Amino acid sequence: MSKKIEQMEDEELFALLCQEKDTAEKAFSELYARYSPRVFAYCRRFLSNKEEAQDVFQEAFVRFYQSASENRVMTNVPGFLLRITRNLCVNEIRRNRNNVTFEEYMVTEDNDISDKDELLSLIKRALDLLSPEYREAFILREYEGLSYAEIAEMIGESLSNVKIRIYRAKQKIREILAPYLADISKYE
């Protein structure tokens, strides 16, 4: 290795995952350092449960590491890592499918929230109430900043389906927040 690990491109690091143990561990550590905050944030937003998010986060990196092979050419490491994470999140939601009404959710949440965080908390709660398909598309677009085309490719849906899901997610969030926003406007 003539280059330092920190100076290598993602694709070069991915190729090193097939090398001898010491080199592979250094390459993995660098990729982990680059992408772990993004992957964990995605898991937290998608799953809304810290423990589940941590489990999926760890499993995503294990599978990512295991996916390296000498005959695999990698052109988009963050996209590949997010695809693994997305699939694990979807599987986790399917395994734990439990539908809770907004009223039940509000009762179970700790209501000790400062005023400035209240709206963000309500948006998060509204996001939790979306169907997994809508939540996923919304998170990928609004939090991860992916284009509609990138989202369509990642989740294996048509571009028009992705646009519809994001539109409906935003519409549903507005519906959920409407009573709260109307209540606030009374006092302004």
Write down the domain spans for the chain.
Answer: 1-98, 100-188
Torsion of CA 157, 142, 129, 149, to 10 degrees: 0
Residue 156 zone, left/alpha/beta (φ > 0; ψ -120 to 50; rest): left
**How confident is the model at residue 184, as a pLDDT?**
62
Chain segment 56-109, per-residue pLDDT in tens: 999 999 999 988 877 778 888 998 999 999 999 988 888 876 545 454 445 444
**How confident is the model at residue 110, as a pLDDT?**
47
pTM, entire model: 0.63
Chain segment 158-179, per-residue pLDDT in tens: 999 999 999 999 999 888 888 7
DSSP string for residues in 128-184: HHS-HHHHHHHHHHHTS---HHHHHHHHT--HHHHHHHHHHHHHHHHHHHHHHHHHH
pLDDT, averaged across the chain: 83
Backbone torsions φ then ψ of 104, nearest 5 degrees: -65, -40
* CATH of range 1-98; options 3.60.15.10, 2.40.40.20, 1.10.1740.10, 1.10.260.40: 1.10.1740.10
Cα distances from 55 to residues 47, 52, 89, in angstroms, run 11, 5, 10
Fold of 100-188: Arc Repressor Mutant, subunit A (1.10.10)
Kindly tell me if the per-residue pLDDT of 52 is higher than 50.
Answer: yes
One-letter amino acid for residue 47 of the chain: L
